[in-house]
């Protein structure tokens, strides 16, 4: 067994494939976090985006329509959290957990009702998202994989610097951060915190829906029940680990994408799938423990 065989050029492609859905959802969660809404409903939003994207692609035989529908459905689904938490003052944690449960039940019901199958829906009529190769650059060894992504892959990577500029270099970003950090102060400046919070949550749902589209139409061309498989939770941890900073979110998502890709490859070395699949979640738990310890120390320092 030579573990050096794990690290080759194809590993970069595998990492990017695992990274994109997590990164899109995490960027959405970051926006919600910036306005003071802790969005742990990303798991359900990804699942809704994946199902609606596959359904729309199947009925129209067009991946672009499927992607747009996934984004819209993710945004609409996020209204449960946005309206409930912002305007009805509901607990966002309770609402988001209910959304995650609802998404699993709803998609499991609809896959039977609409397609007459259980578990997996796969059909030649589903139009998958194509890979756009940039000539010459895509042939560069090792880094060429960065230039052979789906449109959503390029979008996710471009959004990192774009959101950094928006958040830290524009009046809109200043208002978003002000709403999250000092909502009363923002209100006295003429900013309506509720409008910004609702808008950020809807954007969060749209990005998570795109993450679902990438998962179901880009990584694989099918829908599988509960196929988000914890990626939304991993995105939540990425937001926490990065403290809602775009560059940090990219780094955290890259870490989880790398562990996911390595875990898949370790199966070829005879490791049980159940063990390798647990890799990202074990890291997630470790990160949560570290974060909890760090927060406790910070709180103790403030109290003393």
What's the chain's average pLDDT?
90
Q: What is the DSSP letter of 245?
A: -
Tell me the C-alpha distance between 245 and 228, whole Å: 23
Stretch 224-238: mean pLDDT:
92
Pairing of strands 148-149, 120-121: unpaired
Structural domains in the chain, CATH included, are 3-302 (1.10.3470)
pLDDT computed for residue 241 by the predictor: 86
pLDDT for res 1: 55
How far is the C-alpha of 209 from the C-alpha of 110, rounded, in Å? Answer: 17
**Alpha carbons 277 and 92: distance in angstroms, whole number:** 29
Judging by DSSP bridges, how do beta strands 148-149 and 223-224 pair with one another? Answer: unpaired
Give tens-digit pLDDT for 261-287: 887 777 777 777 777 777 777 877 887
Among 82, 100, 51, smallest CA distance to 202 is for: 82
* Tens-place pLDDT, residues 120-147: 999 999 999 999 999 999 999 888 889 9
How many CB atoms within 10 Å of residue 189? 10
> What's the whole-model pTM score?
0.92
Distances (CA, A) of 233 to 96, 185, 294: 11, 32, 20
Q: What distance in Å separates the CA atoms of residue 205 and residue 71, rounded to the nearest whole number? A: 8
């Amino acid at each position: 067994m030579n573990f050096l065989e794990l690290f080759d050029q194809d590993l970069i492609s595998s990492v990017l494939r695992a990274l994109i859905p997590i990164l899109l959802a995490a960027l959405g969660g970051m926006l919600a976090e910036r306005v003071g809404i802790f969005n742990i409903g990303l798991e359900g939003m990804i699942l809704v985006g994946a199902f609606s994207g596959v359904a729309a692609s199947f009925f129209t035989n067009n991946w672009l329509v499927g992607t747009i529908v996934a984004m819209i459905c993710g945004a609409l689904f996020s209204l449960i959290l946005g309206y409930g938490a912002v305007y009805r003052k509901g607990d966002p944690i309770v609402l988001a957990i209910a959304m995650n449960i609802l998404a699993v039940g709803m998609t499991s019901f609809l896959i039977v009702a609409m397609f007459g199958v259980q578990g997996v829906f796969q059909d030649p009529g589903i139009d998958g998202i194509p890979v756009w190769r940039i000539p010459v650059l895509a042939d560069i060894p090792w880094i060429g994989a960065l230039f052979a992504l789906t449109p959503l892959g390029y979008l996710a990577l471009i959004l990192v610097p774009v959101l950094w500029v928006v958040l830290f270099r524009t009046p809109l970003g200043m208002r978003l951060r002000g709403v999250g950090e000092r909502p009363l102060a923002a209100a006295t400046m003429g900013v309506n915190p509720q409008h910004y919070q609702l808008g950020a949550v809807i954007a969060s749902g749209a990005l998570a829906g795109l993450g679902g589209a990438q998962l179901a139409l880009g990584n694989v061309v099918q829908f599988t029940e509960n196929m988000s498989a914890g990626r939304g939770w991993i995105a939540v941890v990425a937001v926490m680990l990065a403290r809602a900073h775009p560059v940090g979110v990219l780094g955290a998502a890259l870490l989880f994408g790398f562990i996911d890709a390595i875990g898949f490859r370790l199966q070829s070395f005879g490791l049980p799938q159940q063990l390798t699949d647990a890799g990202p979640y074990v890291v997630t738990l470790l990160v949560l423990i570290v974060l909890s310890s760090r927060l406790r120390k910070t709180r103790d320092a403030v109290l003393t």
